[in-house]
Structure 1
């Protein structure tokens, strides 16, 4: 499915406010609600829209420490280790990367003790050779929106 300018506008609106009513989107785009409903449904079915969710405040929830863990794995084991790490709750992102490490993890934790426990857990996984950790001093920009243009 190729998306057009109207689809891009719908995506842009929903990306900023996933709770936007279809009638409000239709009003903003000067289109009928049924048309917006059909287009949104198609965007969902084609996978352009993967989910609707609330963005929570990590500080209010006591998860305001951000860390990045570089994981070196045994040769050929990075995908296996990554798949196993998917189930670890504090890990928000897992990326297979180039460079000195094989995996880059973004974690949100409450405190140093939680990081210590997490590193101990990861270090015990079969296939993990070593880890290196960087803690964020301050998060200047964290964004979950994608640039939508042609």
Structure 2
């Protein structure tokens, strides 16, 4: 259920186009910590069972209509519309997108790459990792390494280019370790 659909009103039953990143206010969805001078999101508030059901339904089908969400969680369409907008405004829902089969999309090689980085360089490194071709997940973690990166590339040659040329050229990256993925599966939300 994309915000464009919600902008049509709570009575709309038309499925939206996939991948819409804008809330009904027209402002971009937050993509990380607030920038200097911006208004931070409100503090997290507890989600009730209906909010949890809405989230579970939208995770399974981000194109669900307001009508189908309302029927599934047993509330009015206006209530479902208001709850979804609140979840977007509160930053709980960050966007809508498609689940991609990377192999069928020409990205047949996947790898988790662990990085050890210079202390206190996370923000700098994160910005550079965001620019890597095929990067799909970045996490600052605790343990034997500092960063976990998931990349999808067309083949091993492209993966080698990412690791040996792009990653190891970042001055704050002290070492890397590449874990080739043989098979992967995104877990579907239980519904």
Flag the 1:75–1:52 CA change in 2: closer, same or farther, 3 A: closer
Task: Give 1:33's match in structure 2, choosing from 77, 102, 109.
Answer: 77
Q: State the secondary structure of the residue aligned to 1:51.
A: coil
Cα separation, partners in 2 of 1:37 and 1:75, compared to 1, 3 Å: closer
Return the alpha-carbon distance in structure 2 between the equivalents of residues 46 and 129 of structure 1: 37
Structure with a larger share of its residues in helix: 1
1:88-127 aligned at under 5 Å gives the runs 88-119=132-163, 120-127=165-172
Whether contact under 8 Å (2:133, 2:162) holds in the other structure is no
- Paired residues, number: 146
Match of 2:56 among 12, 36, 57: 12
Cα distance change, pair 40–126 in 1 and its aligned pair in 2 (3 A): same
Q: CA RMSD in A?
A: 2.0
Moved more, 1-10 or 106-115: 1-10
* TM-score, scaled to structure 1: 0.86
| Contact 1:71/1:102, CA 8 A, preserved across alignment | yes
Q: Are 2:102 and 1:51 aligned?
A: no
Matching residue of 1:61: 105
CA shift at 1:143, angstroms?
A: 3.1
SS of 1:132's equivalent?
Answer: strand
Q: TM-score, normalised to structure 2's length?
A: 0.69
Higher relative contact order (CA 8 A, sep 6+): 1
Contact 2:114-2:177 at 8 Å conserved across structures: yes
Q: Which region of structure 1 is more displaced relative to structure 2, 13-22 or 96-105?
A: 96-105
Runs of 4+ residues deviating >3 angstroms? none
Separation in 1 of the partners of 2:62 and 2:186? 18
